[in-house]
Each structure stands twice: as structure tokens, then as C-alpha cells.
Amino acid sequence: MSDPMRIRAQAQGGGAVVRVLMSHEMETGQRKDAAGKTIPAWHITEVSAALNGKTVLTAQWGTAIAKNPFTEFVVKGAKAGDKITVSWVDNRGDKRSDEAVIA
Amino acid sequence: MTQARSLIAAACLAAAGAVQAQTSTADGIAQYRALLADGNPAELWEIKGEGLWKQRRGPRNASLEACDLGKGPGVVPGAFVELPRFFADTRRVQDLESRLLSCMQALQGFDAAAIAATPFGRGEQANLEALVAYIAAASRGLRFNLPQGHAEERKMAEVGKRVFFFRAGPYDFACASCHDAAGKRIRLQELPNLTLNPGDGVGFAAWPAYRVSSGELWTMQRRLNDCYRQQRFPYPGYASDASIALGVYMGVQARGAVSSAPSIKR
Amino acid sequence: MSILPRIRIRIGALALLAGCAGAPGPQDLDRATQAVMQNSFRAQGIATLDRLVQDEVQQACSAETPPPPARAAQLEAAQLASVQWPQDGVYLGDWREGEKLAQNGRGGTWSDAPGVPAGGNCYNCHQLAKAEIAFGTIGPSLYQYGKLRGVADPADPAAAAVVRYTWGKLWNAKAYNACSAMPRFGHQGVLTPAQIKDLMALLLDPKSPVNAP
């Protein structure tokens, strides 16, 4: 079971700034261990964010995204009290979903 | 988004490259650090540590909420900037890692020696690292103010100073070899002067820290361990007297520095 | 190793110190420091505990303030007397190998495999070739080292003094500055004479990138 995401959502202007810190190894599949064996790829492949249940962002991530990735985006029309849900799926089929209320 | 952001950041740095040739290397590095500062993954350890502090665990199925970090049982805010300090119950000066070992053993029934022998980032050592992150974060923004009222605390500061200047090994290195003056750097890594207060959020005031290069949270014990490795010394015992004495010396010299721990590092 | 027995031993030592009247004096603190250094380290990999045994130069330079000039001169003379000069009279090797050595910071730590040759670690502290911008500033810049000292031909007798000094400094930096921060690469067996010759070439060969315009 993966560690929870840290989501901070702040109402700003006509929308909200959402900052997400995800806990994930993001192994590229290109590194080798001390014995010379390739460490298998293990990284997030899809990310989505929803505002009050309605999808507002989808992303496809690959091997260029760093370990414990940090993401920031702005959602137009969001206001304090709205619920933001961020979800990811990785190449092993593991999933994670966390939510926060916009402050 | 992160990919786009890092691409934009890279483009900005590349465009600024021609101008950077005229300004100092330090400016370029500072720019890079500013970009990294938001979204410090150390927060993930802080959240985990808070959970571990409150969770009933170990053979005694108890939480750490009765642990005294120096400001009374269970008091977390402000404790970090007063460590290391003398504790009456163990009758010794202890740093945060050492004190957590004592509490994890006394309150929860864990084997402190076994945790001390566990490699960094694994098992209960990983849990201890999360606890360190949580406790340090609770003092972020506060100034270091190590107590020196007890004779043992004063003695450890003096011993720590001598340990700091102790030259040994095939390279004749001491901590002082790198950290006794301002304005020095090793390759492109600036070296804080640890014989005095080198500034807010720097040196002693910057650890524990998240290290981007390895994606790990390094406690002060780990930082000292790797210093001694690169000094070509033998292996320092985890939470050994030498490591605690160094913490007392550096902490006393850094009195007044604002803590930024857990910070983010290369 | 259990923590509790160490606490008991330490309390015993503390009681001894506390038994003396008033605060511990400098000699008590020096003794306490020696005890702390002994009980705080263990051997690991190639890093053995004998590394903590200080020689006279290390001891003299472990204080906050350097030793007085007369003592420093004594130490320097003793270190200089122990320098091993090249047996075949050849001082310079290959600057290309020297540059690789200067870039290489490996060797000597407990995580290094035994028997693997060490690097010189030079760029950690010094600027050398202009092309390398990732250099440290713990030591002075060595860019144009040979050129600035007028070494057009290292084999020329006119250059002999500089060549000799450079070898001596690489072999044993403390021969010229008792409390130098620079390791004693030859004296401590960190680098072989052949490796030091390659570093000599990096510094003094007019074709080396350190001296090339």
C-alpha cells in the first residue's frame, strides 16, 4: 500500500492553485543494480484530477518524471470549499486516490 | 505538468546561461535551489512521522506521545532547536536520534541497539527517520537555542569542539578541513562554516534534509556518517558520543540560526 | 552491541571526572575526547581503527589554533626529510592520465573495494584545466601552474627547483606547511609514485590543459 499524497489547494483569483506531492519510486527501468541486473520499471503512467467529481486534468507520465514527483496546476472556476481529488495509476496496475478541500 | 515545468525551468536556465557566465556560479545554484524549494518531498516523511508518533506500536503497543524530547513529555514544538541536551532519566546528553531510540525502547519495547544497527532507510530506522522529519518540522522557523546550563552539556560542547578539529586517517582530514571558514566549496558544493552561526537555514540548521540526488531523507546522524566516510575515517557508531558531541558543538556555535529543517538538498 | 552497558561505563567515567573539584580542565577534556574517539568508531571495510591513531603532525594540527612557528618549522623539516624522490630521476609522466586522476575522487573509504587504485581528488579542492568548471576552492587555483612559474621545459635545469617543490608538495604537503589542508598523497600511500608523476605532468607539461593557452 503506497503512502498518501500531500495535496494543498488554495483558492486564488478566479480559481484555485493545487499543489500535489506524490510518494512513488518512479523507477525508469534503465538503471542496473550492483549485480548488473536491470531494475524493472515501476512508475506512474496516468494522473487525473477531478473537481467535485468532474475530471479537470488528465496526464500521461513516463520515465522522465522524478521520484516523489511534485505537481502544481491551476483549476479555473474552483472556489473555497470545493473538493479536489487526485488519482494515479502505475505500470504495475497499482492505484492511489487522495482528496483535499480547497482552502 | 512536472515534466513541462522542469523543461521550462531547464530552458530558463539555459537561456540565462550566457548571462550566468558573468555572474557567480553560486547564483546559478541558488536559482536551481529556489526552483526545487516548493514541494519538498520531506513533507511525505513529516506526515508519516506524525502518524508514527501517535500510533500504538511495538511489543508494548504504546505510542510515543509520552516521550520527553526535552520540553516535557509529549511536547514536540520547539524541542528540535534545543537538541542535543542533557536528560535526567538517562543521565546523558542526547541528540534527537538518540532520544528517539531511548523512547522507542522504554515506551514501546523496541530494541534500541537493533534499530541503531539497522541500515539507513530500512525497517525501524526508516520509521525513526520519519519521526525525525516530523519533530524537526515542528520547529521550522524557530531559532537554535541549545541549553548549556548543565555541566554535562558544557563538557560535550568542549569535547565536540575537539572532535571537530580532530585530524586523522590517510587524508589527515578533520571536520574543520572543510568547515572551518566561509567562502569555501568542494567542487560546486558550498561549505558552511560550522565553527560559528553560518546563517539561517544553513549548515546545522538545514538537517535533516531531503536529498534529491538519492530521493532519501537524511538525518543528521546520516549526514555525519557520510562525512566520516568521505574523510576516510572508520565507521562512526550510530548516535555515538562523538556524533552527539559534534551536534552539541555545532548547535551551540549556531545559536540564533533559524531552523529550516527538513530542508531540500541536491 | 547494547546501548545500556555503554551507559553504565560512561556514568563511571563521568563520576571520576565529577569527583575532581569544579569544571573539567583542558587536560581532562583532552582525555575525555580521546575516550570518546575510542568508543565511538568501529572498523568497516578497508577503514580500520588504526586510522584514528594520530601522528605528530595530525596531533599538532588538531587544535583550533595552529602550533607556534618554531614548532611548525620543526614538523615541516621532519616531513620534508621523509619525502621519497623518484628513484629513476624521472619526475613527469602522462598528463592525460593525470587529468583522469585529478577527476577521480574514489578510494580509501569504507565503501571502496580493497586493492582498487585511488584517485587524486584534485578538482574537489582546486581549479586545474580551464574546461572543468566544477572545481572546488578549498585550495588555490592551479590553472596555468607551470606557465606562471616560467616552466617552458620541465627537463631544463632552470626548472629544477619548481619541479622538485611540486613533487615534494604532492608527496607530502605538510613538508612546506605543517597544517596544510592538503592530504599527503605519497607519504600516506594514497597514490603511487607513477600516479604522482602523471599529476606532475598535468601541472608542469606545457602541453597539459592546465598550461595550454
Enumerate the residues of chain A whose CB falls inside 8 A of the CB of residue B47. 3-4, 6
Instruction: Indicate which of A6, A20, A61 best probes the interface with B, i.e. most B CBs within 10 Å of its own CB.
Output: A6
- Per-residue model confidence (pLDDT) at position B36: 74
Enumerate the residues of chain B whose CB falls inside 8 A of the CB of residue C24. 155, 158
- Per-residue model confidence (pLDDT) at position B23: 59
Residue B39 has pLDDT above 90, yes or no: no
Mean pLDDT of C3-12: 49
Q: Do B168 and C51 touch (CB under 8 A)?
A: yes
Average confidence score pLDDT of chain A: 94
E strand or H helix that includes residue C160: helix C160-171
Question: Which of the residues B12, B67, B178, B227 is marked catalytic?
Answer: B227
Q: How much is the pTM? A: 0.88
Mean pLDDT of A6-17: 93
Q: Return the percentage of chain C with pLDDT > 90, whole number.
A: 88
Q: Which domains does chain C have, with CATH numbers?
A: 3-67 (no CATH), 95-204 (1.10.760.10)
Q: Do B235 and C30 touch (CB under 8 A)?
A: no
- Per-residue model confidence (pLDDT) at position B17: 42
- Per-residue model confidence (pLDDT) at position B72: 98
Q: Which domains does chain A have, with CATH numbers?
A: 6-101 (2.60.40.10)
- Per-residue model confidence (pLDDT) at position C21: 59
- Any contact of A with C, at least 3 CB pairs below 8 A? no
What count of Cα atoms within 13 Å lies in the side-chain half-sphere of residue B183?
A: 2
Residue B21 has pLDDT above 50, yes or no: no
pLDDT digits (tens, 9 = 90+) for B47-102: 999 999 999 999 999 999 999 999 999 999 999 999 999 999 999 999 999 999 99
Beta bridge partners of C129: none
Q: Do B47 and A69 touch (CB under 8 A)?
A: no
Q: Return the percentage of chain B with pLDDT > 70, whole number.
A: 91
List the end-to-end C-alpha distance of chain C, in Å, as a whole number: 59
- Per-residue model confidence (pLDDT) at position B118: 97
The rounded distance, in Å, linking the Cα atoms of B64 and B58 is 10
Q: What residue has cell string 623518484?
A: C86
- Confidence grade of residue B13 (pLDDT, cut at 50, 70, 90): very low
Residue A39's φ and ψ, nearest 5 degrees, are -80, 125
- Per-residue model confidence (pLDDT) at position B25: 73
Can you say how many angstroms the Cα of residue C191 is from the centroid of all Cα atoms in its chain?
A: 11
Of B113, B161, B187, the CB nearest to C2: B113
Average confidence score pLDDT of chain B: 91
Mean pLDDT of A94-103: 96
What count of Cα atoms within 13 Å lies in the side-chain half-sphere of residue B141?
A: 3
Q: Do B161 and C111 touch (CB under 8 A)?
A: no
Of A19, A59, A73, the CB nearest to B39: A19
The rounded distance, in Å, linking the Cα atoms of A14 and A11 is 8
Of B1, B41, B212, the CB nearest to A73: B1
Mean pLDDT of B150-173: 98
Domain B42-265 is in which class?
mainly alpha
> Cα Rg for chain A, rounded, in angstroms?
15
- Per-residue model confidence (pLDDT) at position B18: 41
The rounded distance, in Å, linking the Cα atoms of B239 and B98 is 5
Burial of C65-88, coded b for 16+ CB within 10 Å and e otherwise, reads: eebeeeebeebbeebeeebeebee
Of B159, B230, B234, the CB nearest to C29: B159
Q: DSSP secondary-structure letter at C45?
A: T
- Per-residue model confidence (pLDDT) at position C174: 98
Other CB atoms within a 10 A radius of the CB of residue B98 amount to 26
Q: Do C62 and B166 touch (CB under 8 A)?
A: yes
- Per-residue model confidence (pLDDT) at position B254: 97
Question: What is the domain partition of chain B in residue ranges?
Answer: 2-37, 42-265
Q: Do B215 and A68 touch (CB under 8 A)?
A: yes
- Confidence grade of residue B4 (pLDDT, cut at 50, 70, 90): very low
Q: Is B163 exposed, middle or buried (0-12, 13-18, 19+ CB in 10 A)?
A: buried
- Cis before B59? omega within 30: no
Tell me, yes or no, if B227 is annotated catalytic.
yes
Extract the C-alpha cell encoding B226: 557520510
Residue C70 has pLDDT above 60, yes or no: yes
The rounded distance, in Å, linking the Cα atoms of A26 and B233 is 34
- Per-residue model confidence (pLDDT) at position C20: 52
Contact of B97 with B221, CB cutoff 8 Å: yes
pLDDT digits (tens, 9 = 90+) for C183-211: 999 999 999 999 999 999 999 999 999 99
Q: How far is B216 from chain A (nearest CA, A)?
A: 10
For C10: left if phi > 0, alpha if psi spans -120 to 50, otherwise beta; the answer is alpha
The rounded distance, in Å, linking the Cα atoms of B33 and B14 is 15
Q: How far is A81 from chain B (nearest CA, A)?
A: 22
Enumerate the residues of chain A whose CB falls inside 8 A of the CB of residue B40. 21
Contact of B125 with B119, CB cutoff 8 Å: yes
